[in-house]
Amino acid sequence: VEGKLLIRLDQSKDQLNWRLTIGCSLSGKWILHWGVSYVGDTGSEWDQPPKDMWPHGSIPIKDYAIETPFKKLSKDDTFHEVKIDFNPSSAIEAIHFILKDEETGASYQHKGRDFRVSLVNYLEDDGNMIQAKSSFGKWPDAVEQLPNMVLKAEASCDSKNENRRLEGFYEEQLIVKEVSVGNMVNVAIRKFPDAANIVLHLETDIPGDVVVHWGVCRDDAKTWEIPAVPYPPETTVFRNKALRTLLQPTGNGSRALFTLDEKLDGFLFVLKLDAHNWVNFQGNDFYIPLSSARSVKGQSDSESEETSGKAHTDGIINEIRNLVSGLNSEKSLQTKVKEAKESILNEIEKLAAEAYSIFRSSTPSYPEEDSDADDAEPTINISSGTGSGFEILCQGFNWESNKSGRWYMELKEKASEISSLGFTVIWLPPPTESVSPEGYMPKDLYNLNSRYGTIDELKDLVKSLHGVGLKVLGDVVLNHRCAHYQNQNGVWNIFGGRLNWDDRAVVGDDPHFQGRGNKSSGDNFHAAPNIDHSQDFVRKDLIEWLCWL
């Protein structure tokens, strides 16, 4: 979603002070993270502004900055702003800031660095300067254009013998906020008794005209071929290699029914959204095995109980395998064979309950020992630091759980059921923002909005799990971290967000990331910078983050 960051510098109504106004046209909860630099300062470090400059609601961030929440102009307005008043005769040389989205934890900078508003006219523009231009624009809802105001003050600079000169200005900067949008593609297959065909139902909630580019295969090689008729409506042949079917619109998306020969091995497809956009499965075709729809032959009454039981068990195992392989799809592609699913889940629940009952009721027996033995060794009690030693852990995710975009809410709906099966602990996926959707390539550790859900959904889930007696095990990835910015050599080793480390946080013996830290204590992971945990500031920041988490 695109919006505008608006920056205005003008004189206050009292004609004594000046005011810097920073506004944002995007909806959300915005925070201004800012500080100042003084005349004569060297380097790029910020300082906290003097107290009389702090807008209402500001809070200090360590000793170098403050954070100020944006305020809406009106209740129903999406425009937010922060106003900073200052005395032009002070020793402040520039105001520095970045914009933070409180809802996602994302930070917005100017060309990879902080915004800098110069309050003197002798600073060299190094690319991130926001300063007076030759003309003025309009502030939103302004009745009249801003006047051209110039203030000359007798403020001197040690390095240059020039008078301090402020010029009012107004500037707009484009800002882009990433908004996650999730869509579903569902596939269900069914084999009717006494029929030689399989019916495949495909539906999606992707908006607009969606075309299914599809074919079938007869073996594991997954070689595309065109099946025999009949075809769904709006189907055309594409280069004698595949078929294209325009999905028919429904109230919430579109769908199509495909009638296929039961001897076929699989159904292959990709989705064509327009001339330039396609949806596939991680660069490959979607593949739906058709074997799960084939009927299972029943056992005769004359067969033995053992054979019947084995067939029953084998049938369940085969159905599980077929369902699992059938989930090989993009956007949480799901089969809807309801009866098969319920049967399998019921069997799993029975086995889990039986195993849990056996585990809890079992009392270990030991051979009797002579109580008068002088050489008996004392019993050593070993206990867990966090549990009873009899925990039953449920892995609360798999490698594809992120694809639904609402995994936390799905787990919340199952909390009571998971607890009833006898589990005492549930292991949740990595919660932080990650370059990879699975969560194992973390970027901003303080941003707990991920492909599994939002930070509020995570809090709600943990509360629900605790409410049914389940402990929650977190998964944190601290070995490596993905950088936000490149250094002067174009290497990604500069971090942003609240843990804005530089290349000192990266181990020094991995040539891929040119770190200035110490040598790694183990193997390097070349997909992302390895963090040097021997650095005091790294350990301090990670301990602080773990306590916050």
pLDDT digits (tens, 9 = 90+) for 26-41: 888 899 999 999 888 7
What is residue 180's predicted lDDT score, i.e. its pLDDT?
66
How many angstroms from the chain centroid is the CA of residue 58?
Answer: 28
What is residue 483's predicted lDDT score, i.e. its pLDDT?
92
Return the number of other C-beta atoms located less than 10 Å from residue 319's C-beta. 18
Q: Would the pLDDT of 370 be above 90?
A: no
Q: Would you call 312 helix, strand, or coil by DSSP?
A: helix
Between these two residues, 161 and 116, which has the higher pLDDT value? Answer: 116
Percentage of residues of the chain with pLDDT beyond 90: 38
Q: Cβ distance 407 to 401 under 8 Å?
A: yes
Confidence band (pLDDT; 50, 70, 90) for 511?
A: confident
Nearest to 261 by CA among 215, 324, 319, 322: 215
What is residue 144's predicted lDDT score, i.e. its pLDDT?
34
Q: What is the DSSP string of 74-114?
A: STT---EEEEEEE-TTSSEEEEEEEEEETTT--EE-BTTB-
Confidence band (pLDDT; 50, 70, 90) for 532?
A: very high
Q: Would the pLDDT of 177 be above 90?
A: no
3-state helix/strand/coil string of 68-84: EECEECCCCCCCEEEEE
Q: Would you call 197 helix, strand, or coil by DSSP?
A: strand
Q: Cβ distance 264 to 290 under 8 Å?
A: yes
Confidence band (pLDDT; 50, 70, 90) for 107?
A: confident
Phi, psi dihedrals of residue 493, rounded to the nearest 5°: -145, 20
Between these two residues, 372 and 418, which has the higher pLDDT value? Answer: 418
As a whole number of angstroms, the distance between CA 500 and CA 62 comes to 13
Residue carrying structure tokens 């998971």: 418
Comparing 43-57, 109-123, 259-273, 335-349, the range with the smallest average pLDDT is: 335-349
pLDDT digits (tens, 9 = 90+) for 139-171: 454 333 333 333 233 333 344 444 456 788 899
Residue carrying structure tokens 């999905």: 247
Q: How far is CA 441 from CA 340, 430, 477, 479, in A?
A: 36, 9, 8, 10
Q: Would the pLDDT of 287 be above 90?
A: yes
Comparing 34-43, 107-116, 320-329, 470-479, the range with the smallest average pLDDT is: 320-329
Q: Would the pLDDT of 326 be above 80?
A: no
pTM of the model: 0.36
As a whole number of angstroms, the distance between CA 336 and CA 401 comes to 17
Confidence band (pLDDT; 50, 70, 90) for 373?
A: very low
Residues 6+ apart with CB under 8 A from 98: 33, 34, 107, 108, 109, 114, 115
Q: Cβ distance 344 to 323 under 8 Å?
A: yes
Confidence band (pLDDT; 50, 70, 90) for 510?
A: confident
* Tokens coding 331: 């956007």
Q: What is the DSSP string of 242-262?
A: EEEEEPEE-SSSEEEEEEEET
3-state helix/strand/coil string of 411-444: HHHCHHHHHHCCCCEEECCCCCCECCCCCCCECC
Q: Would the pLDDT of 449 be above 90?
A: yes
What is residue 157's predicted lDDT score, i.e. its pLDDT?
38
Q: How much helix, strand and coil, in percent to the nearest 5, is found in the chain? A: 20, 30, 55
